[in-house]
Amino acid sequence: MEKFPKKNMAKDCCLTVDNLFMKSKILQIIVLIVLAIDLFLIFNNNIELRFFTKPILLPVLILWYISSSKSEKIQLNAFFLAGLILSFFGDLFLLFKWGFLPGLGSFLLAHVFYIISFKKKAQHQVCKFWPIILSLYASILLVFLFPYLKEMKIPVLIYAVVISVMMYNALKTHNRNLMIGALFFLISDTLLSFYMFFQPLIMLNLLVMTTYILAQWFLVRGMLLSKDNGRL
């Protein structure tokens, strides 16, 4: 039987890892470029052209996650992938004036899938004050926004509870990237609630989009760099 030299096998393995690394860097650069264009369009209040930029962002992040999962050390998490796909649909819905409620529903389900995907990793102890802090955050936000929510009171209340649970589960993973991503998501959705129900300032919208993409980027990075997946 013909034996392949170990040196060649090691070389092929290194080339595969290098190719994956290069591909992931290219995809991340594409996200940065498209985000910069999208922020420019927001600043200039060019809503029509955002139909060509905003829908690109999540598919590129999804492609980064899927392509990186081809490495032997990285396993694709179907629940996390479902969360990313639902986030993409949420992005699409929020481009339309009528799309806030279905967009909210898409992101609500996305957070549920994120919670499930964190569950296996969320085995660590966290400060006992975190549930109190997150409950206070949700309560203060809802009390402030309540007069402006009208018929959206119940959906926003449910959403606030779910994203707080997502944040708590991210903290329990002790995965720095997942924790930062969840925090950026919390900040982004808080800013979005002020933009949608209180004061629709362009600066708020810029911050919403920036923190949102940072959130998704850190979550993807956290899933790829988690200890049970190895390192990319």
Let me know if residue 34 belongs to a domain: yes
Tokens at residue 105, please? 């529903």
| Number of domains composing the chain | 1
The C-alpha atoms of residue 212 and residue 218 are separated, in whole angstroms, by 10
Q: Which domain holds residue 52?
A: 6-229
Q: What is the pLDDT of residue 15?
A: 42
165 assigned to some structural domain: yes
- pLDDT, tens digit (0-9, with 9 covering 90-100), for 82-131: 999 999 999 999 999 899 999 999 999 999 999 999 987 777 788 788 88
Place of tokens 């296996």: 120
Higher pLDDT, 96 or 73: 96
SS (H, E, C) 21-36: HHHHHHHHHHHHHHHH
pLDDT at residue 116 in the model: 95
The answer to whether position 201 is within a domain reads yes
In a domain, 141, yes or no: yes
The yes-or-no verdict on residue 11 having pLDDT over 70 is no
> Of 212, 216, 178, nearest to 192 (Cα)?
212
**pLDDT tens per residue across span 117-169:** 998 777 778 878 888 899 999 999 999 999 999 899 999 999 999 999 999 99
- pTM of the full predicted structure? 0.88
**Residue 1 covered by a domain:** no
Residues 6+ apart with CB under 8 A from 222: 173, 175, 176, 177, 178, 179, 180, 181
In this structure, is residue 101 part of a structural domain?
yes
Domain annotation covers residue 108: yes
